[in-house]
Amino acid sequence: MSTAAHALQRLRSTPYARRLARERNLSLSAIAGTGPDGRITGDDLIHFRPAQVEIARQPAPAISAPVAADAAPAIAVSPKVAVASTAAPSAVVARVVFSALEALLAQIAELRPGVSREDICLKAAAFASEAVKSVAPDRALLLLSAPDRRQRLIDLADASLSTISKMRQQANDAGEATLAVSFLGRAGIRPVAARLIGGGVARLVVGAGEKDGSAECLLSYDPSRVGDEDAEEFLGVFRDLVETPFRLLV
């Protein structure tokens, strides 16, 4: 813009209008004056509204993440397909008195050598599963005898304690069962949670005996497959049989 044109623009705007233009970062050339001879006034700046320009926005292009050469192909999942979710296990706990069981073991030690606390508990669990079919409908127990060893034992409710002892020592590491049983080997450790094994619906954790002869026993179960009342019934039957183990000898 020439000096003459700049001077002409200044003559056609009031000082107030020029100050407002500087404050609002507006160009006077874009504003039509309403004063004498088209002079731009302060009111022109105050009522000025810049034209709204609409910009057509294109959708952003999809960006593909790099795929490793050995990556598995992506699988499209329809939003209408329901995805199955695994229910978190529930649990019930009972304090069981083992003094009668220990007394029984002392009495039958000579007649039935090798019979242990675990054998009596396994038979009690088998009887409890007979009473509550939803926990072990296959009449089998999965004994978790070591972190890397699982033994499937069948029809323990009909077997003698001596037979159960031999079965436990000779069982192969194979098979599955809906009810898993494990034992804690250290006193003072309380079972508060236990994960279910494989496709099992329940897991019984038998605590180690305390100084007073009692221990906490926990039944963890899948609430979508075992009802709360069934879980309580199972653990109640197990406790009653362990506390009166002579019934297991009949």
| Mean pLDDT computed over 95-122 | 91
Three-state SS string across 4-69, please? HHHHHHHHCECHHHHHHHHHCCCCHHHCCCCCHHHCECHHHHHCCCCCCCCCCCCCCCCCCCCCCC
Name which residue leads in pLDDT, 53 or 135.
135
With CA atoms as reference, report the closest residue to 204 among 124, 101, 139.
124
pLDDT at 82: 42
Tell me, yes or no, whether 51 lies in a domain.
no
- Torsion angle of alpha carbons 235, 236, 237, 241, nearest 10°? 100
| Mean pLDDT computed over 87-92 | 86
Share of the chain above pLDDT 70, in %: 77
Tell me, yes or no, whether 57 lies in a domain.
no
Tell me, yes or no, whether 37 lies in a domain.
yes
Q: What is the model's pTM? A: 0.64
Name which residue leads in pLDDT, 23 or 40.
40
CATH of the domain at 34: 4.10.320.10
Total domains in the fold of the chain: 2
Is residue 14 located within the same domain as residue 106? Answer: no
Contacts of the segment 237-241: beta carbons below 8 A, 24+ positions apart: 237/124, 237/127, 237/128, 237/131, 237/132, 238/94, 238/96, 238/121, 238/124, 238/125, 238/127, 238/128, 238/204, 239/94, 239/96, 241/123, 241/124, 241/127, 241/128
Alpha-carbon gap, residue 123 to 116, rounded angstroms: 11
Most confident of 51-55, 84-88, 222-226: 222-226
pLDDT exceeds cutoff 60 at 69: no
Is residue 142 located within the same domain as residue 32? Answer: no
pLDDT at 87: 63
Tell me, yes or no, whether 64 lies in a domain.
no
Is residue 140 located within the same domain as residue 25? Answer: no
Which segments of the chain are extended strands (E)?
90-97, 140-146, 149-154, 179-183, 202-206, 214-221
Model confidence over 144-154: pLDDT tens digits? 987 778 889 99
Is residue 229 located within the same domain as residue 122? Answer: yes
Is residue 205 located within the same domain as residue 115? Answer: yes
pLDDT exceeds cutoff 80 at 209: yes
Model confidence over 163-175: pLDDT tens digits? 999 988 886 666 7
pLDDT exceeds cutoff 70 at 245: yes
The Cα angle at residue 167 between residues 246 and 128, in degrees rounded to 5: 45
Domain of residue 20, residue span: 3-46
